[in-house]
Chain A
Amino acid sequence: MLKTTLSNLLTAVVMTASVTAYAADLTVSAASSLTNAFKDIATNFEAAHPEHTIHLNFAGSGELLQQIAKGAPVDVFASADQETMDKAQAQHLLDNSSRKDFVQNTLVVISPRNSVLKLNSLDDLQQLALQRLAISNPDSVPVGRYSKQALLDNNLWAALSDKMINTQNVRQSLDYVARDEVDAGFVYATDAAIMADKVKVQFTVRLQSVVSYPIVITQEGSAKQLSQQFIDFIFSPQSQAVLSQYGFSQP
């Protein structure tokens, strides 16, 4: 730990003091739900290409979009929904031709591992024993938007609004459920799988649309070639294996 810190410090000093040989840095902004999978993939990529460095930036997709819109130096953007990507495209922030869907996910309702609640459908969320329901902010987080749409389709959005605890991204919802601070929450199946020892999946939410993740090169990005190389790497069998190991399915 200390060693890494020291070496980071040393790297910073060396980098600022000298002009380095060709080696590119790539900044990848990815949806929170991709955290674990992308960390593994970035490690694999750096192992295969030691001269390059991948910087990962995770947050709710809407927040990532705002960062890019405000000029954050991001090279590759992977969001958890099409809508955020469409908005980015409408603002001319992307290299549209590079846009491709790379994985799919499912929306589930989870509760703490030791919860006595029995939930089989969205209607069951109205149970009195269920007092707090974690849901990501639908204005900026795709999982929140999917959840809200599902609740609206079942005429439950208004009825459940008093129980809702808004979170900033899917991992915050997961954390609140794992800590037993809320009785249930909306997350992706892949998130639930990461904390299988603390949370249990109650049921899968049926959606009108598919939860699919697009990845794209940004307009402002500096390392276009490397960006394409990284995206190709995502579609490689090695990375697809990592993604399916975390529970993501193929588009």
Chain B
Amino acid sequence: MESVWIALSLSLKVAGWATALNIVLGISVGYFLARTRFFGRDLLDTLLTLPMVMPPTVLGYYLLVLVGRRSAFGSWLYDTFGINLIFTWQGAVIAATVVAFPLVFKPARAAFEAVDSELEQAARVLGVSEISIFFRITLPLAWRGILAGVLLAFARALGEFGATLMVAGSIPGKTQTLSIAVYEAVQAGKDDTANMLVVITSIVCVVVLLTASRLAPGRVSERTR
């Protein structure tokens, strides 16, 4: 029973960190792609969206090859900082971040593109600095659309299985998240534990999706109508 709560809190920790990273990364990349024109922009957008459509096992393999001890990046991390990402909860965070990234970045880009640029222009004419335009005008106007994406990304990170299992393994209390604990319980024929785990997972997901739908764009106009 206790192991169920450990798995849940680990899942929340991993999904929380992955979401925090994606808020920063997804919003900045989304803003960048919405506001700049350059050759290869569509290709870059496609590449960044890939994690959404690629099988998690493919991503898991990429990550294992890219950050593993044998890889250039992985051995540099290990030799320089003594950091080893494989089989750690930080490794699980990376897997979840990559998988959920498009869910933040895509809506963020769309939300930024929908912001009326005349409002930003007006502020610019009034002498407001660019950074302050972003935080006081652009971001607040785009926020709703972004937030819905963030919640979906959180839910996706919470449910991440394939890439996480390959990169972080399944160490109880360390990298064994809810979804992996379900898999192990079913494999071992522990149906009681499995039942418990799937009920908890379902409840958490329903709460997240309900929240996301409340924040989704379009809801405001519906309410005011």
Given A137-B170, A180-B69: A168 in contact with B188 (beta carbons within 8 A): no
Q: Which residues of B contact A166 (CB under 8 A)?
A: 169-172, 176
Q: Which residues of A contact B187 (CB under 8 A)?
A: 60, 62-63, 66, 137, 139-140, 168
The number of chain A residues with a CB under 8 A from chain B is 21
The number of chain B residues with a CB under 8 A from chain A is 19
Interchain Cβ contacts within 8 Å, total number:
55
Q: Looking across the interface, which residue of chain B has its beta carbon closest to that of A176?
A: B169
Interface of B is mostly: loop
Cβ-defined contact, B171 with A65, below 8 A: no
B213 → chain A closest CB, angstroms: 33
Q: Is B64 an interface residue (CB 8 A)?
A: yes
**In A142-176, which residues have CB < 8 Å from any B CB?**
164-168, 176
Separation of A140 and B185 alpha carbons in the complex (Å)? 9
**In B165-213, which residues have CB < 8 Å from any A CB?**
165, 169-172, 176, 183-184, 186-190
A216 → chain B closest CB, angstroms: 18
Cβ-defined contact, A139 with B190, below 8 A: yes
A181 → chain B closest CB, angstroms: 5
B179 → chain A closest CB, angstroms: 13
Separation of A65 and B186 alpha carbons in the complex (Å)? 11
Q: Which residues of B contact A139 (CB under 8 A)?
A: 184, 187-188, 190
**In A169-193, which residues have CB < 8 Å from any B CB?**
176, 179-182
Q: Which residues of A contact B186 (CB under 8 A)?
A: 66
Q: Is A69 an interface residue (CB 8 A)?
A: yes
Q: Which residues of B contact A181 (CB under 8 A)?
A: 64, 68-69, 86-87
Q: Looking across the interface, which residue of chain A has its beta carbon closest to that of B75?
A: A180
Given A62-B188, A168-B187: A179 in contact with B171 (beta carbons within 8 A): no
B212 → chain A closest CB, angstroms: 32
Separation of A168 and B190 alpha carbons in the complex (Å)? 15
Q: Which residues of B contact A137 (CB under 8 A)?
A: 170, 184, 187-188
Q: Is A132 an interface residue (CB 8 A)?
A: yes
B105 → chain A closest CB, angstroms: 30
**In A64-79, which residues have CB < 8 Å from any B CB?**
65-66, 69
Write out, one digit per residue, whether chain B residues 33-77 have a CB within 8 A of any chain A CB (1) or not (0): 000000000000000000000000000000010001110000000
Which residues on A are within 8 Å of B, measured CB to CB? 60, 62-63, 65-66, 69, 87, 132, 137, 139-140, 164-168, 176, 179-182
20 A-B Cβ contacts within 8 A?
A66-B187, A66-B188, A137-B187, A137-B188, A139-B184, A139-B188, A140-B184, A165-B87, A165-B169, A165-B171, A166-B169, A166-B170, A168-B165, A168-B170, A168-B187, A176-B169, A179-B69, A180-B69, A181-B68, A181-B69
